Amino acid sequence: MSERSPRQGRDAGVDEILEGRREPGPVARKLPGPVAWFDIRGRSTGHLAFSLNRITGLGLVFYLYLHLLVLSTLLRGEGSWNGFLEIATTPLFLGFDVLLVFGLLVHGLNGTRLALVGSGFVPNRQKALFWSFMIFGAIVLVYTAIHVFGSEG
């Protein structure tokens, strides 16, 4: 195995982070692995995409269990569910809905980019693909926000 190739079992972007830590410069790069995701100073678009994917992914895992917890209120009957709906239809919670869609779009579209590149499709267009998907995602997010908040009136 060559020195630059990723180690077996290690995922996208980790080698870039480890390589970055060895470089001299003003940016602190000695922190443990996942903490480095948040340090995007002076990094490439690839690192930004990797960090966004990990952070939105963790957020979505948290939401998966929150969603199961919320749906469990249905087991306690109509009264409990109506109580939840009263809270869930406030502007604050509708804002959380839009935040959820933001996470889904970033993670889904960036994941699509990774799958396309990793499978050998468009290997030399990663940066263009990333920004194209993010612009598309922004348009869908604006539409969703209008739909979610528009339903309030």
Partner 1 sequence: MATGPAIATGSPRSRSWRWTAITGVSLLALVTIHMVAHHFVVDEIGGLRTYQHVLDYISTPIIFVIEGGFLVVVTIHAMLGLRSVLFDFGLSERRRRLVERALVVLGVATVAYGFALIGILASRA
5 binds partner 1 (CB under 8 A): yes
DSSP label of 93 = H
Give the span between the Cα atoms of 50 and 37, in whole angstroms: 8
Give the span between the Cα atoms of 101 and 99, in whole angstroms: 5
4 binds partner 1 (CB under 8 A): yes
> Given the complex with partner 1, which of 28 and 127 has the nearer CB atom?
127
* Contact track, partner 1, 55-84, x by CB under 8 A: --xx-xx--xx--x--xx-xx-xx--xx--
Q: Are 110 and 130 spatial neighbours (Cβ–Cβ below 8 Å)?
A: yes
Sole binder of partner 1 in the list 51, 102, 106, 117 (CB under 8 A): 117
Q: How many CB atoms lie within 10 A of CB 144?
A: 17
Interface residues toward partner 1, by CB under 8 A: 4-6, 8-16, 19, 32-34, 44-47, 50, 54, 57-58, 60-61, 64-65, 68, 71-72, 74-75, 77-78, 81-82, 85, 88-89, 93-94, 97, 101, 104, 108, 111-112, 114-115, 117-120, 123, 126-127, 130, 147-148, 151-152
